[in-house]
Structure 1
C-alpha cells in the first residue's frame, strides 16, 4: 500500500444528471412512456430500448468517461416543479463483508442490472432502504421519508445496492432476487459472489418543509435506484484489483 494511502476499499464515478424520461429499460424494457418519470445519470443515450450494446456505444456525463453505465431514480418534485440533483456521486465500495473476504471480490459483470429500494412501498418498512438526510446539517438525522433541512443546506439521498451476486443471472424477474445483501459479514450461500457495493449519493438543491416534496413514484420512502452496468470489462477488473481487493481508496481515474 502506498505511504499515506487511506485504507478504504473505494473507487468513484461522478455522473451528473443527463435527461428525464418516463422510461425504464430494466423494469419495462421496450415500452417508451411505460414508467413514472425518471431522472437519468451517466449514459446520455438511455431510454426504454437501451441494452448493453447501445450503452457501450453511448456517451456519458460520468467522470471517468470510461464509465458508460446508466443510473436512474424517480424524479423529485417540489410542488409541480422537477428538481434535479446537483451532486451525483456513485461510490463503488468494498464494505459489508469481512476484510479477509474483500480479497475475493469479483468485478461487477458487464450487463448486470440491479434495482434497490422499493418503488411500491406503502410505508417506510425494511424494503425501503434509501435514506434522506441534510448536507451539512447532521443534527437533523436521517429518515426513510423526506426530512426538513435548514435553509442553506441541501436534501440528500443515500442508497446502498446489494453486492452479493448469485454468479449466473444478470437480471431476475423482480430485478432483485439475483442479488442479496451480506449477512453477518459474508455473502449467503445462495449468492456466493462478492462484487463491489454501489452506493448512490444524490444532493438536491432544496430545503425546508418536506410536505412540498414528492417523488414520481410517491412519498419519500418509495425512493429507489436502478443500475445498468456498462463499465468496460477490463476497466472494472482493474479497479477491483487495484482498489477493492487491497482495500485502497482510489480516485476517479481508478488509481490510489
Structure 2
C-alpha cells in the first residue's frame, strides 16, 4: 500500500540516493544548450522554435504562496495581479530564449514590472506591503550542463531536481558523490545497452526547454520505497468511496486555473484535462458549477477534478501548437489521453472523517517546485506493477506491458471554517505521520487520484507546466473543487466511517 498521510513519509533516504545514482548526468540541474531548435523544421510550424532554452531558468519569489492574510474583498484584484506576475515571468523567459536582449536587461525590466504589480497588490490590500517585502527581485538560475545527444543532435543535460539548488531535503551529498559519476549504475542497461528500459535518445523535449535525459529513470532499477500507512486505531475510518468520472473530454481542455487565477484567461500557462464538472474555465463560479453537467456516473457529483496534460515528445503538432498555454509557451507534442483516472476518497487512521464543505478548493503538489523547492511537491510517478516505488523528481521508464502512473494524495485535514485561503493552502493540511490532523484541523475524506497512460514505446514524455519550470516531473500537481450534493457527501462520509467500500 502507498503512503496516504503525510508526503514526507513516502520515501526512504536510501531510495532517494539510489534514484540519484541512476541519473545519467553529473551533479546539479541541466537542460538543452542555448539556441537549440528541436523540431521546428520537421513539423513545418514555427511554434517549436519559440522557446530555445539556455542553460538555466528564471527564479522568482512565489508571491502567491507567501500571502497568508488577504482581505476577502481584495482577493479578486490580488488574484488578477498574481496572474500578471506569472505572465511577466513567462514573457521574460521567452525573451531570453529568443535572445531578445541580454539576460541582465530582461531581468531588469522584469523586476521593474514586478515592483509595479506588487504595488498594485499592496494597494488592493489597503496599502499593506508588509507581506511583499523582498518579492520583486528575480534572478537567472544557472542550470549545470551535462552533454548528451538528443533530438536533432541538441546538447542535453540532466536535472537531478530543482531543490538541489534550493537546499531541498530530498537529496543530499550522495547525489553529487563519486558513485553518481561512475560505476555500473550509469552503464549498460540505463544508457542504451541491453536493458529493456533505455532512456530515449530523443529525451529532451521538442521545444528545447525540457525535459532532459536525466529526468527519466528505469523503474525496474528503483528499490521499493513506499512505507506502510499508519495502522488504523479504534476510532479510525477505514472505508473508501469511489467516483467514476471518466478520463476527460478533449473539447474541455483549457489553460485556465479558476482556483489560483479566477477571471484570467491562460492563468495556468499550460493545458489542463478536466473530469467531473463540464463548466470549468477561468470565469466559472460556484453558481456556474451548480448549474453545470458532470462526466461522473453519479450525477450528484458535480465536483471538478483537473490536472496538467501529459504530452509525448514525438515531434508532432497538437491543436494548440500556436496558442498560449500550448506551443507558444513550450508545451508541445501529442497530448496523451489517460487510459484511466481512479478517484477515491479514503479515511483517517486516527479518527472518523467529517463532511467536506461544498465548494472546498484543494491543490496538491506545486506547479513551480523546480524553482520553489520541494516543500509542497507531493505528486508521484510510477508504473503499473511497480506501485511500491514512487518518484517525485523523475519520470519513470516502464517495461513493456506496464503503464505510466501519476498519483496525487490530497490534503486530508481541514481548518473547519474556510473553503479556500489566500495562498490556497493554509485552510487544509496533510495529516501527521501517525495519521492525526494538526491542531485546529479535522479529518475529511482524503481524495486520492491515480491516472494511468499508455506511452508510445521509446518516446519521451513531459507534463505541461509554466515555461520557466522546464517540464520537470517535480512540478506535477492536481486541483479539486468539491461540488458533491450534501446527500452524496454524507453518503461518502458514512461509507468511509463504517469501513465499507462504496461508489
The question of a shared fold, defined as TM-score above 0.5 by the shorter chain, is answered with yes
Counting only pairs closer than 5 Å after superposition, residues 18-167 of structure 1 correspond to structure 2 as 18=249, 19-35=252-268, 36-79=270-313, 80-95=333-348, 97-98=349-350, 101-102=351-352, 105-122=353-370, 125-138=374-387, 141-144=389-392, 145-167=394-416
Q: Is the 8 A contact 1:155 1:207 kept in 2?
A: no
Q: CA deviation at 1:127?
A: 2.2
Corresponding position: 1:194 with 2:446: no
Question: What does residue 168 of structure 1 align with?
Answer: 417
Q: Is the 8 A contact 1:151 1:207 kept in 2?
A: no
Candidates 240, 244, 261, aligned match of 1:10 = 240
RMSD between superposed Cα atoms in Å: 1.8
After superposition, give the CA deviation of every residue in 1:129-186 in whole Å (9 maximum; x if it has no partner): 11111113458x3211210011222111111000110111100111111101111321
**For 2:387 and 2:435, how far apart are their aligned partners in 1?**
27
Q: Is the 8 A contact 1:14 1:89 kept in 2?
A: yes
Indicate how the Cα distance of structure 1 residues 138 and 189 shifts in structure 2: closer, same or farther if over 3 A, else same.
Answer: closer
**For 1:200 and 1:131, how far apart are their aligned partners in 2?**
11
**For 1:81 and 1:72, how far apart are their aligned partners in 2?**
19
Q: Is the 8 A contact 1:11 1:239 kept in 2?
A: yes
- DSSP-derived class of the 1:122 partner: helix
Q: Is the 8 A contact 2:238 2:497 kept in 1?
A: no
After superposition, give the CA deviation of every residue in 1:75-112 in whole Å (9 maximum; x if it has no partner): 111111111212011100003x32xx12xx11111010
Q: Is the 8 A contact 2:238 2:498 kept in 1?
A: no
> Which of these two proteins has the greater Rg computed from alpha carbons?
2
**For 1:208 and 1:180, how far apart are their aligned partners in 2?**
39
Question: What does residue 4 of structure 1 align with?
Answer: none
Q: Is the 8 A contact 1:153 1:207 kept in 2?
A: no
- DSSP-derived class of the 1:125 partner: coil
- DSSP-derived class of the 1:53 partner: helix
- DSSP-derived class of the 2:501 partner: coil
Question: What does residue 3 of structure 1 align with?
Answer: none
Q: CA deviation at 1:31?
A: 0.9
Higher strand fraction: Structure 1 or Structure 2?
1
Question: What does residue 244 of structure 1 align with?
Answer: 496
Higher helix fraction: Structure 1 or Structure 2?
2
TM-score, length of structure 1 as denominator length? 0.86
TM-score, length of structure 2 as denominator length? 0.45
Q: CA deviation at 1:126?
A: 4.5
Moved over 6 A (4+): none
Q: Is the 8 A contact 2:362 2:424 kept in 1?
A: yes
Q: Which runs of 5+ in 1 are unaligned?
A: 1-6
Q: Which runs of 5+ in 2 are unaligned?
A: 1-236, 314-332, 466-470
Q: CA deviation at 1:208?
A: 4.7
**For 2:242 and 2:342, how far apart are their aligned partners in 1?**
7
After superposition, give the CA deviation of every residue in 1:55-93 in whole Å (9 maximum; x if it has no partner): 121111112222100011111111111112120111000
Q: Is the 8 A contact 1:153 1:206 kept in 2?
A: no
**Which range moved further: 180-189 or 200-209?**
200-209
Corresponding position: 1:229 with 2:482: yes
Number of equivalent positions: 236
Q: CA deviation at 1:220?
A: 1.4
**Which range moved further: 124-133 or 53-62?**
124-133
